[in-house]
Amino acid sequence: MERLAAEAAEALAGAPADEVIAWATRTFGRRICITSSMTDAVLVNLVSRHLPGVDVLFLDTGYHFPETVGTRDAVSAMYPVNVINVMPPTTVAEQDAELGPRLYSRNPDLCCYLRKVVPLEDALGPYDAWFTGVRREETEARTDTRVVQWDARREMIKVNPIVEWTQQQVDDYIAANNILVNPLVYDGYPSIGCRTCTSRVADGADPRSGRWAGTAKTECGIHT
Catalytic residue positions, numbered: 220
Q: Residue 69's pLDDT is what?
A: 98
Which domains, from first to last, does the chain contain?
A: 2-178 (3.40.50.620)
Tens of pLDDT, residues 55-87: 999 999 999 999 999 999 999 999 999 999 999
Tens of pLDDT, residues 184-213: 999 999 999 999 999 999 888 888 888 988
Tens of pLDDT, residues 140-185: 777 889 999 999 989 999 999 999 999 999 999 999 999 999 999 9
Q: Any long-range contacts for 175-180 (C-beta under 8 Å, 24+ apart)?
A: 177/45, 179/40, 179/41, 179/42, 179/45, 180/40, 180/41, 180/71, 180/74, 180/75, 180/78, 180/79
